Amino acid sequence: MAIVQVRTFARYAELLGDPVGVEIELPTTVANLIVALRRMPGGDRLPNQPLVAVDHAVAGTAAVVSLGSSVALLPPLAGG
């Protein structure tokens, strides 16, 4: 098992803290990481499929998270 440090922002940072450490076996998928995040305190208020970025790019649920990946949980974007 490893600890993945997930950056969170805006409302998700209020729910989970920033960063949030997720204990999970690596490599894994974004889908598995979301499941683990939803089990954490405050995670039950996340949507079923929140937006996730891996290495600064939006990643689908099948994307791989490896040791050293930069992972972020992104609330609905609201720039402009």
Partner 1 sequence: MTTAPFLTNRPLVASELERDLATPADGAVVSFAGVVRDHHEGRTVVGIEYSAYAEMAEQVIAAIVLETEARWSVRVGLRHRVGALAIGDIAVVVTATAAHRDAAFAACRHLIDEVKARVPIWKHERYADGTTAWVDPTAPGGVSR
At 64, the amino acid letter reads V
Q: Any contact of residue 79 with partner 1 (CB under 8 A)?
A: yes
- Name the one range near partner 1 by CB under 8 A: 8-16, 25-33, 34-42, 61-69: 8-16
DSSP percent split of the chain into helix, strand, coil, nearest 5: 25, 35, 40
Residue the block writes with tokens 């939006």: 58
Q: Any contact of residue 78 with partner 1 (CB under 8 A)?
A: yes
Q: Any contact of residue 10 with partner 1 (CB under 8 A)?
A: yes
Build a one-symbol-per-residue string for 27-46: x at contacts with partner 1 by CB under 8 A, - elsewhere. Answer: --------------------
Q: Any contact of residue 7 with partner 1 (CB under 8 A)?
A: yes
Please give the Cα distance from 78 to 38 (Å, whole number): 23
The three-class DSSP label of residue 46 is coil
Q: Any contact of residue 77 with partner 1 (CB under 8 A)?
A: yes
